[in-house]
Amino acid sequence: MAERIQTGGPSIELRLAPPERAAYEAAVRVAVDERWVERLADRDPSLWSHDARVQAEIGDRLGWLDAPRHFADQTASLETFGDEARENGFTAAIVAGMGGSSLAPFVLRQTFGTSPDWLDVRVLDSTDPAAVSAIVDDLDPLTSLFIVATKSGTTTEPLAFQADAYARIEAALRQRHADRHTEPADFMAIVSDPGKSVESIPHQASIPSIFLNPPDIGGRYSALTYVGLLPGSLLGLDLDELLGSAQLMLAAATTREDPEENGAVSLGLAIGTLARGGRDKLTLIADQEIAAFGMWLEQLIAESTGKSGVGIVPVDAEPLGTADTYGDDRVFVRIALSGSAGPAAGQEVGDADELIAELAALGHPVIRIALDDPMDVGGEFVRWEIATAIAGAVLGIDPFDQPNVEEAKRLTRDLLAHRQGNDAAAARTPSLVRDGLALLPDKGLDTAQATGTLAGELARHLARRDPRSYIALQAFIAPSPARDAAFARIRTLLRNRTRNATTFGYGPRFLHSTGQLHKGGAPIGLFLQLTADHPKDRPIPGWPYTFGELIDAQAAGDFAALEAHGLPVLRIHLGADPEAALATLERALETALGG
């Protein structure tokens, strides 16, 4: 049964089998009886908790509901900033952030591209030394605007990127004998929160352009704040149009009392109810031009719902399969753009819409959203923020906290503090070598008997999954198109042979998104962690460790955090040639899975 729900923006269509339709309709009745739409519009924290302390915390995290209106008053000054950046000779901008501070800029950059008349906006969110070099080393430090984006003002990664940028700018100024009144801070801007947050950022007193967000907006709900809008101004986007799309969606979501006429609330009720009934793998299939939206959405859903032993597992950019390769724990979300060339790269197998129709006919839940224009992404930010908040209410959790994110960070800090001792070295060094790759099994595998081939180790590890598991690939290596393609093949192999959902993320980026779900959600993940050598490491100026040491410690810290939760994790060290090692891994997985 299909139902099309009209909203202030693009419509949404739900196709649910009878049992799931009944559960959804029951949730709609509860939402109507308990006035969920009205309470959402009133910023009533009792929608999510009856605990006074939790309600007080939630009350300080609902500013995102005001963001489209609030920032509509800032578009003129933002567009002036973008114009002045060009007039001042800037040709590029580097957004240095993590998680909520980097993913919205990434979506806008990938969706709208760059123009010769505007700045080349790049997002730096990897501490791998090769990744840092790939983003910044071909740019002139004196024509590149460096944006430090951190809500807390203390996030390790953007501050490390800032230290690197400051030293590069300072060296360029000396080399070119710049005016003695010019300093590196003149080539920087800040996006942060007021008070201690911005005051914690080095050189903030000398940085001329500082953009302070309302402090009651959490990082993953900050797409339509300065986090996304400042980079948008440098890309030359029409910010009024982007925010206009968002305001239309927000108005519909907070005024239409019947959820079945409210595309954002109905979506949240659907995905929350489906997850509660075992359909907790939200599989995203987006057209190529808007595919980057899935990465932002992955963080929003995973970090908001993955806690207290429950959660929705977003499955982004998994290559398309045939209908028989999917388990009965899936929900499929098709996000289509009018006039698109088709599904995203890496999803080439079959036609997406034909597959969706077949899946619906087989009884899988299908949600279809059709966008008329890429600018509708403004409304989609709002739709999914509200839907995620509503899904949290259905699941009985607080969708605005992230109780497990700090674990891996703490363990990373401990490793870095003791990096010259044996503890850090042992934590980073895999203990087994098979087929040219080194492995570090988790404590659940019998390492005394682990004398087989790489395929044998993988088979033992994969045997720990069950039909509800998801297989998470965690790559603490520098991204590249060749590596993206290799991981797409590996995901396809794993999914086709096991029918388990697969997820993928580059570290440390995913630590600020799906990392919360991994540790705090349902204990159904099975993890493959991948690390590599650093043939050319990169110092962090003024810091006691390098970028290579930082990302190694981040990998080791996450490994330890997963083990602390009793989750199955296997580390595979790819050595100095990750491309060749990934090919070896793919062959070993073929054997391990009975190929």
Q: At 584, which amino acid appears?
A: T
Sheet containing 366-371: which strands, arranged edge to edge?
A: 2-5, 12-15, 366-371, 330-337, 281-286, 313-315
- Tell which residue, 517, 500, 486, 264, has the closest CA to residue 391: 264
Query: Please, which residues bridge with residue 366 across strands?
Result: 15, 332
Phi and psi dihedrals of 498, rounded to 5?
-110, -20
DSSP assignment letter at 319: P
Model pLDDT, residue 121: 98
Q: Name which of 357, 317, 364 is nearest 501 in CA terms.
A: 317
What strand order describes the sheet that includes 144-149?
120-124, 92-96, 144-149, 188-192, 209-212
Residue with tokens 């649910």: 16
What is the chain's pLDDT, residue by residue, as a tens digit (595 residues)? 456 554 556 789 999 999 999 999 999 999 999 999 999 999 999 999 999 999 999 999 999 999 999 999 999 999 999 999 999 999 999 999 999 999 999 999 999 999 889 999 999 999 999 999 999 999 999 999 999 999 999 999 999 999 999 999 999 999 987 677 799 999 999 999 999 999 999 999 999 999 999 999 999 999 999 999 999 999 999 999 999 999 999 999 999 988 888 999 999 999 999 999 999 999 999 999 999 999 999 999 999 999 999 999 999 999 999 999 999 999 999 999 987 766 764 444 358 999 999 999 999 999 999 999 999 999 999 999 999 999 999 999 999 998 887 787 888 888 888 765 444 444 445 556 666 677 776 555 444 344 457 898 899 999 999 999 999 999 999 999 999 999 999 999 999 999 999 999 999 999 988 999 999 999 999 999 999 999 999 999 999 999 999 999 999 999 999 999 999 999 999 999 999 999 999 999 999 998 6
pLDDT at 10: 73
